[in-house]
Structure 1
Amino acid sequence: MTKVITTNFFMSKLSNSGYTLPVFATASAVASLQYLQNSYQENQVIIDLIKPSELATINIEQIAKISDNQALAITRSNPGDNLDLTRDTPIWSIVTLTPHYETKLIIEGGEGIGKITNLDGKSAIYSYAQKLLEKNLLDNLKSPSIVEVKIILPEGKKLAQRTSNSAFGVIEGLSLLGTTGISQPLTSQKQLELYQQELAEKAKKFDNLVFCIGENGLDLAVKLGYNSEQLVKTANWLGSMLVKSSIEQVKSIILLGYHGKLIKLAGNIFHTHHHLADARLEILTAICANFNLPHGIIQQIFTAETTESAYQILLAFDRENKSNYTDQIYQFMANRIANNCEKYILKHSEHFVKISVILFDRNREIIAKGSSE
């Protein structure tokens, strides 16, 4: 049986949960379609979330016809209590409806939707968002037609500059990414308990696990050949999850992650959410100083915009000087992360867990593998 949830922009399924960006994109698209078919009412639409099997009522902020067969609707993102930079960002959907003897659905990303560099600039509208749009638009279509949908995030390009999207090959905007319609706060105690429960269940089956912070790491881990049953999503709760692994008698863990995220552990920061701590460039600067790099390069690292741009500065320095500092620095970083993690675990628990580290770059290429010395 499908459960029905009613919401407005400032309430959520639970006191601390909201909806993911694909849900609001779908809501604005459905509203535009309904408006063209004269079935829109009460400034809201009902969306089948698919996963979970629930219906959500989403408010529509504005709606209007652009032409006889084209309409624009606007809603706003509400991630609940999640510390999400997309909070209140407007999502536009322009729908063009053309009667046709057979139904065809065309979905594209407009301004502010990122482009995937290794897929010839394809819009970063991923599987769950595609399914959500297809299901809800086709369910609301009254007669065979060509339905063209363009999703626009007016603030997408600006917001993307505050993310690590480019590190994963997405440029010029945000992704419609996710595997569920519910946005659970990754900083909440309830979410940590869910991750720890998953860890405990997998620890009963396996002595060795692979920790990944987010969806990108999980996806890469599978591509690298790791057993999906041994993968554990940690979000930013790395310290707590490491200690839990010790309590559950796990023998070894591979930390697989983007260098610009895991670098925090090299500075003994074990909760990696940027709202709590962000000393990435400071940590990298200290490591570079430890390797006695020239003062000018150290200054460039310290003032770099991102850890990715700092990494590129190091690569350029090596090319120009025929040196090998970048490999040495990131090897040192990987080893230090592993060593810091093992010490952190033993500080809070008695069972030793062997830690290995794999760091990858923006192209998802492995740049360093490390372990404690």
Structure 2
Amino acid sequence: MTAPFPKPPSSRAGYTLPVFACAGAIAALRHLHDDPPSPQSVTLDLITPAQTAEIPIEQVARLGPTTALAITRSDPGDNLDLTRNTPIWSIVEIQQRGSGVGKQDSPLPAITLEGGEGLGRQVNAENQPAIYAYARTLLLGNLEPLLRPGEVIGVTIVLPEGRSLATRTSNAAFGVVEGLSLLGTSGISQPLSAPGQLEDFRAALRQKSATHSALVFCLGENGLDLASKLGIDPGCVVKTANWLGPLLVEAGMQGVESILLFGYHGKLMKLAGGIFHTHHHVADGRQEIFAAHCAIAGLPTADVQQIFACETAEAALKYLQTLDADTGSDWVGRVYGAIAQTIDQRSSVYIRTHCDRPVRVGSILFGRDRQIIAKSELGSAILSQVLLS
């Protein structure tokens, strides 16, 4: 008798960068308070989800009478994450001593958050440090209870390897330069690319498909964040990472009627070329896909050649936007409209080919500024179904 194929082992989740930055800040503040003088680990409230985590502290030391530094190291779990083991420095400075008696009025906020070397800047937000909403909530929520009455502190997060690591990410495509970002909507780092995690994604999809006939596929954190801001029902949102092909088929097998593909244009356009695992280690093809759709739309050959020579999808988009501004044309609308339609068609055919189920697929593509570039006709229709009333 043939033995059943073994089920892949469950993937180990880790923590996102904001958690380690927060743990270090807690350790540094406690060190300044001598409570305890040199903590080996700290326990913090993740807030989202509602649970605690114990994070090892690698080193902690005073830098001066009112300043301390604590160092942690990133552990994203069983995730193919380039931040694994990268050090996070959390520097806390007591800017105003508390009276120790009662609440003291101060013109300063109780806690200010700053980005140091290796923590990126948001070029689309007046060069503010790339410390996003969850990270701010986490830091403030855990540090405020530790402040002595009237105390005011400044927290600076430094990622010594951040600038070099950022060159291997798509951060610049989302307007974050010179470093990494403290991004995420949760303290838990779910394995997105590790072997075996596809089963976890399938399980989540099955659960949501039991109560929703229309699902929204988000490739990553930026899509999840934008989906939330648009008012999309979180109950129908499925995070897919790069596993779009298997999850499209799974949705078909579960009887899902409609799927909205919601993602960054540089990732999602790969589906227009028949690439259904979108990790760049597997396949790319963005230049070819973009240039082909430009040619089909009638863009002059010289411009198609310029598009093909662009190193990134964002650069190609900017080229078309500049062309439109200079000539009064609408190449962005025409080309991206065609790409979105091709994504819909190829995705629907992919599902039917692998599980013989008819599923409506629509797509919405956004740029690095998190502004929507294109919606397919089906994408607009499905979006209206999944918005919270």
> Where does residue 241 of structure 1 map in the other structure?
247
The residue type paired with residue 300 of structure 1 is Q
Aligned counterparts, 1:130-169, within 5 A: 130-138=136-144, 140-141=146-147, 145-169=151-175
* TM-score relative to the length of structure 1: 0.85
Q: Any conservation in 1 of the 2:18–2:187 contact (CA below 8 Å)?
A: yes
The residue type paired with residue 86 of structure 1 is T
Cα-Cα RMSD: 2.7
* TM-score relative to the length of structure 2: 0.82
Note the residue ranges of structure 2 that are not aligned, 5 or more in a row.
1-9, 105-109, 379-389
> Where does residue 6 of structure 1 map in the other structure?
none
Give the Å deviation of 1:86.
1.7
User: For residues 207 and 333 of structure 1, do their structure 2 counterparts lie closer, same or farther at Cα, with a shift above 3 Å needed?
Assistant: same
> Where does residue 55 of structure 1 map in the other structure?
53
The residue type paired with residue 77 of structure 1 is S
Give the Å deviation of 1:349.
0.4
> Where does residue 341 of structure 1 map in the other structure?
347
The reply to whether residue 311 of structure 1 matches residue 309 of structure 2 is: no
Q: Distance in 1 between matches of 2:356 and 2:225?
A: 32
Q: Distance in 1 between matches of 2:137 and 2:328?
A: 49
Q: Distance in 2 between matches of 1:59 and 1:201?
A: 37
Superposed CA deviations along residues 232-260 of structure 1, whole A, max 9, x for unmatched, are 22222111111111111111112122211
The reply to whether residue 22 of structure 1 matches residue 21 of structure 2 is: no
User: For residues 130 and 315 of structure 1, do their structure 2 counterparts lie closer, same or farther at Cα, with a shift above 3 Å needed?
Assistant: closer
Q: Distance in 1 between matches of 2:151 and 2:230?
A: 42
User: For residues 234 and 157 of structure 1, do their structure 2 counterparts lie closer, same or farther at Cα, with a shift above 3 Å needed?
Assistant: same
Q: Distance in 1 between matches of 2:306 and 2:61?
A: 49
The reply to whether residue 99 of structure 1 matches residue 105 of structure 2 is: no
Q: Any conservation in 2 of the 1:116–1:124 contact (CA below 8 Å)?
A: yes
Q: Distance in 2 between matches of 1:73 and 1:305?
A: 39
Aligned counterparts, 1:173-192, within 5 A: 173-188=179-194, 190-192=196-198
Greater displacement, 267-276 / 288-297: 288-297
Q: Distance in 2 between matches of 1:80 and 1:275?
A: 20
Note the residue ranges of structure 1 that are not aligned, 5 or more in a row.
1-13
Q: Any conservation in 2 of the 1:355–1:371 contact (CA below 8 Å)?
A: no
Q: Distance in 2 between matches of 1:37 and 1:121?
A: 33
The reply to whether residue 357 of structure 1 matches residue 371 of structure 2 is: no
Greater displacement, 202-211 / 258-267: 202-211
> Where does residue 203 of structure 1 map in the other structure?
209
Q: Any conservation in 2 of the 1:338–1:371 contact (CA below 8 Å)?
A: no
The residue type paired with residue 70 of structure 1 is T
Give the Å deviation of 1:43.
4.5
Q: Distance in 2 between matches of 1:88 and 1:363?
A: 29
Q: Any conservation in 1 of the 2:40–2:57 contact (CA below 8 Å)?
A: yes
Superposed CA deviations along residues 84-118 of structure 1, whole A, max 9, x for unmatched, are 12223221121112422348222222233233455
The reply to whether residue 232 of structure 1 matches residue 238 of structure 2 is: yes
SS in 1 for 2:376: strand
SS in 2 for 1:72: strand
SS in 1 for 2:303: helix
Structure 2 residue aligned with 1:330, among 314, 325, 336?
336
